[in-house]
Amino acid sequence: MDFDYAKLPSEFKRRYLQDGIRFEWGDLSKVFGELSSRSTASAAELEKWLMDEDELNAYCYEQRAVRYINSTRQTDNPKYTSAYEEYVRELEPKIKVASFGLLKLYAASPYRSSLPDFRFSQEIRRREAALRVFREENVELERQDSELAQKYQRTRAAMTVDFRGQERTLQQMAKFLEDTDRGTREEAWKASEERSLKDRAVLDGVYTDMVGLRVRAARNAGFDNYEDYIFVKKSRFDYSPADCAEFHKAVEEHIVPLSREIDRARMEKLGVDVLRPWDLLVDPDSRPPLAPYEDMRGFLRGARLVVSQVDAQLSGYFGKMVELGLLDLESRKGKAPGGYQEDLSEKRLPFIFMSAADRDQDVRTLLHEAGHSFQTFLMRDRRLPFFNANANLPLEFAEVASTSMEIISGEHYEGVFYDKEQAKRSNFQEVVGNIKLFTWVATIDAFQQWVYSHPGHSSEERTRAWLGILDRFGGLESYEGLGESRAYRWQRQLHLYESPFYYIEYAIALTGALGIWSRYRRNSHDAVESYKSALSLGATRTLPELFAEAGVKWGFGMAAMRGLAGELRSAVREYGS
């Protein structure tokens, strides 16, 4: 718990904002007012206006980020919780309305077409999309949505289990699912599920309320459905809902059969007639769980050494994060679930949040989030305007940054975290995890398509739809006698609550990351240089252009899934032999 925002260096001096500005509406309104009254009577004046607006945006984004970080690190701290909730309730709505006022001034300028293409072409597209979807009446709906998301966070963070004489978070309980004793696994799984299901009605109600708010927002903006609205709001210029539906079909045809082959092999190795939910994480050869580190110091030291074998420049970035206390990694009571990387956009530094629990997956999660951080540093070094940072990055490529690092770093676990056989085990688990990720992304994305294409549905109808989608994409594990657990599995997915329709990005990114990994195994230097070059471009290029810069193909339809299924099957044989 070393994060101390006040001690972080300020290496980028402001050109516009006063150093003494306070994150209060009285101060912010004056800045918005000055920008709204300033002349933009030439291309040069407009560009200067945009850079000053960007500085204001960076300040507001960073101040929000600090409050969010603190509220997730300690959900049981009333000071932090109230500070973030006050921002959501009082400040964010005013900022959104004032920002839209500036957006309209920009849209009225005849000098937009004179802006430098390299720096502004994609930003212009994003601004046009924002103009299309913004409605002032939706600001209040979004505020209510954010408050419901906080309720979800608090509810999940409060879930602990008294297991074998010790109170444990659900993240800490996960390690028991790798125990070679089936009775221990079953006991731990059921204890965690029992605790989760106690709040199923609360979380079901939260989601129902969220869906209602989101559907209203879409209709206010003139859209027939929320999916079409969110595609514009998320600036998804390079693919459509129909492309996502095609991806679902491709996964069903090419990836689900491979996923179920892996389940059958697991059943055979475990010697069980029926695969149960608590059988999915244990080593199928009954070896003890992988233990990559003994303490946080060893965890960090090993991660940095692995990164150093990928690239010296990236290792330097990781070291700077450790030095500045920009990581909060251990699981503890009161800490929100999940993991994320957040940008501090004025300081141009990243922060990583996760809940480590002495598992192999911890290493993958840290290096995944480190990939996001490396993109922040690479854009920082290139001195791009910071509207090309976390707030506007195309998430489909931001996840290439993270997922690529997660996968290619596995090539260097041997001698750092593991011996040769253990490293092979870890990489096998990663390959299987990526196969399962494709099926789970299809599950979550198809579920969201159903939810928002059936406004006004009942909880019972939603449950039936969810179970049908699980039948389509799920594995071979049996939930006999555990119907409620299967029916409410979706409540574990944070993105459904906090970031609607943010999930297909992981599958799109995985296609790119697997391509980079394939290149890395042939020529590591060239692959890393292309990777870094693409990351440094931020949000200044289209998705197909960013993929091309990284040296990989763009596309996630039938042909892409057919080819990846073959590559993944080969990797299963290589690492699983």
Among 391-395, 457-461, 502-506, 521-525, the least confident range:
391-395
Is residue 262 within 8 A of residue 572, CB to CB? The reply is: yes
When pLDDT is averaged across residues 335-343 and rounded to a whole number, the result is 88
For the chain, state the CA radius of gyration: 24
| Average pLDDT in the chain | 94
CA–CA separation, 211 vs 155, rounded Å?
18
Does residue 1 surpass a pLDDT of 70?
no
At 3, the pLDDT band (50, 70, 90 cuts) reads confident
pLDDT of residue 304: 96
- Residues sharing a CB contact under 8 Å with residue 542, sequence separation 6 or more, in sequence order: 122, 237, 238
When pLDDT is averaged across residues 9-13 and rounded to a whole number, the result is 91
pLDDT of residue 321: 96
Encode pLDDT of 505-545 as tens digits: 999 999 999 999 999 999 999 999 999 999 999 988 999 99
Does residue 40 surpass a pLDDT of 70?
yes
Burial-class residue 493 by CB neighbours within 10 Å (0-12, 13-18, 19+): middle
Encode pLDDT of 208-261 as tens digits: 999 999 999 999 999 999 999 999 999 999 999 999 999 999 999 999 999 999
Does residue 2 surpass a pLDDT of 90?
no
What residue segments make up the domains of the chain, in order of their start?
A: 17-146
Does residue 388 surpass a pLDDT of 60?
no
Helix (H, G, I), strand (E, B) or coil at 538: coil
pLDDT of residue 337: 80
Does residue 391 surpass a pLDDT of 70?
no
Distance of CA 394 to the CA centre of its chain: 12
- Beta strand ranges found along 20-78 (DSSP E): none
At 108, the pLDDT band (50, 70, 90 cuts) reads confident
Structure tokens at 115: 């802006």
